[in-house]
Amino acid sequence: MQPTVERIPDDLLRRFDVAGPRYTSYPTADRFVEAFGADDYAQALAQRRSGAAALALPLSLYVHIPFCESLCYYCACNKIITKHHDRATAYLRYLSREVDLHTALIGRGQTVSQLHLGGGTPTFLNDGELRELMDMLRRSFNFAPGGEYSIEVDPRTIDVKRLDTLAELGFNRLSFGVQDFDPAVQKAVHRVQPAEQVFALVEAARVRGFESINVDLIYGLPQQSPESFDRTLAQVNQLRPDRIALYAYAHLPERFKPQRRIATVELPNAAAKVSMQSRSLAAFLSAGYVYVGMDHFALPDDALAVAKRQGRLHRNFQGYSTQPDCDLIGLGVSSIGRIGATYSQNAKTLDEYYDFLDQGRFPVVRGLALTRDDILRRAVIMALMCQGQLLYESIELAHLVDFKSYFAAELGTLREMAQQGMVVLDDAGIQVTAQGWFFVRALAMVFDRHLQTDRTRARFSKII
């Protein structure tokens, strides 16, 4: 659904100026428990190997590279700020051990159709180290032809020659961290990178045949205004990447120490943030982008837009994905994975991560085995987040429930939201409206049983 952008009433802004999850999973990662550990993860992997249906599905891999040379004040990622590039040597050695633990249980040669290197700054690794990492992965897994193999790129860390290396290593998708082209905003968040540098790199990447180029943007940063962000939007439309990821800045200085360097008084208010979101929607839709959902846009022929049209869109720990119900192996410090009906997360510090692997154990320190109710609610939330609609019959057939009876309380809440123009309810299902897309996280929250029993939401970002 391509929403038409309209002014959001002030009363809705006030009502939904609340914190809530981004739903890259359900239940959300804050619900993971330490009772789920390395042995539980090993059991999930063993069950995957014994299940014929699971083996028929390709894997997705995520590799976390935690190192960065400099600190971006807005960043909430797990990262290690260092100028000492030799630290990557030991890290790659331990990544190899973690890969070996996986192949010992699931066997070598499992098909992989999606790889993402995130961080931190993956391009902190030099060309030789990137080659070592990719050789390690290719020895252990079978990378499918035509798969999506992507890497996050800090424009300050690469040049045209490095683009040649990335292409040679098999990466076919790049994600450039831009955030904002405005020099004052860049200075305020300690990430100065001239627009000309990004334009030159994107053009060089196109010449080298990369299939999809993504640009990350953030609204709600210090020194931003709707008018200043308009200029960045115009530059991005001129740049015309294949995909755009547009995120709302989550200011949580009590959780993320670097954000304490940002002056709260320099942050735009909720109304300004919604204005930036609204103007972004208008700018990108008018430029021909497909609104994939919540924070992603894509050109009509990009794989993400095609997946949206074909009903194959999914949402995982990296955001929107083209691969529904794909097991995800997370490698590296703090990485999150999904195997079957389980979620898992690795140790968040290098010392603990290394210690587990020195003992020959998976570095999993917490996770979750999903209940039947979790799986049902995940299907409902992902339908709303990914397709903007839900048919009762499809849920009832897949999960053997009477939807209207099982979710009677939730439907009561949605009827109130329907009166505000957020959703349309009928006998067949639920449809998110154009206005409702601004608050799709709020709609998903209605079905979050864990959140309804715990109203403490300080751990989450604002939904607008």
Binding residues for S-adenosyl-L-methionine: 62, 74-76, 119-121, 152, 179, 191, 216, 250, 336
Long-range contacts of 424-430 (CB under 8 A, 24+ apart): 428/391, 428/392, 428/393, 429/389, 429/390, 429/391, 429/392, 429/393, 430/384, 430/389, 430/390
- d(CA 129, CA 402) in angstroms, rounded, equals 54
Cβ contact 422:439 at 8 Å? yes
Alpha carbons within 13 angstroms on the beta-carbon side of residue 197 total 14
Q: Which residues are annotated as a binding site for [4Fe-4S] cluster?
A: 68, 72, 75
Instruction: Give the pair of three-digit tokens for residue 377.
Output: 């609610």
- d(CA 241, CA 150) in angstroms, rounded, equals 15
Q: Which residues are annotated as a binding site?
A: 62, 68, 72, 74-76, 119-121, 152, 179, 191, 216, 250, 336
